[in-house]
Amino acid sequence: MIKQIIKIWGSAAILSATLYSGLLAAHGKVALEADVCVRNISGSMVHLSTYQPQHDPEAEYCTEIPREGETLWVLDLVDQALRDMPIGIKIVRGSGQALSDTVASLYSTNHSDGIIKGEFNLDEGQYTLFVTGEGVPPLHYEYPLRIQMTNYKEAFFSAVPYIITFLLIGLLTDKFLKRRQMQQQ
């Protein structure tokens, strides 16, 4: 009986690991057109990546930055036309209609390699990163940044496989124990 319960729990653990790893999608493992960090206006694309090497040297983030503090950012100008125009970058506290003071700004005219990079040091909260290509017509891209804020939707969906596995284990254990009890009577 104990061997069977161990087998059930072991199977459930394997099932849980399979379900959980199937839901993971690393930021760098998707096609450019499907990447949530890409902004596309009239065929001109930009891609934002953020890093916090002091916390996790290999992790790449987009707009959900897990901790406050020093954060490196890289803006890839995918479209060749963007590489030939001045680019303005501005980080503003707040999001949507609730924008307040400018935290940082950068103006770049020399980015022939298509990369603009820098770093910012932001406190917990919401910010908006604006990217403006000063061409004809001007191009405006916007990235809402969330620093050290819990994304409850994402947390829920990452917990679902464990919840389902736990419920299945409970159901199977209950059925197994009831069947054993019936056989002993």
Choice between 61 and 35, residue whose per-residue pLDDT is larger: 61
Q: Looking up tokens 């690393």, which residue turns up?
A: 26
**What DSSP state is assigned to residue 54?**
T
75, exposed or middle or buried, with CB in 10 Å at 0-12, 13-18, 19+?
buried
Strand, coil or helix: what is 76?
strand
Percent of the chain exceeding pLDDT 90 equals: 22
Which residue ranges make up each domain of the chain?
Answer: 1-26+151-185, 31-149
Question: Tens of pLDDT along 126-165?
Answer: 899 999 988 878 889 999 998 987 667 777 888 888 888 8
Q: Spelled out in words, what is the top-level CATH class assigned to the domain 31-149? A: mainly beta
When pLDDT is averaged across residues 10-19 and rounded to a whole number, the result is 62
Read off the pTM: 0.64
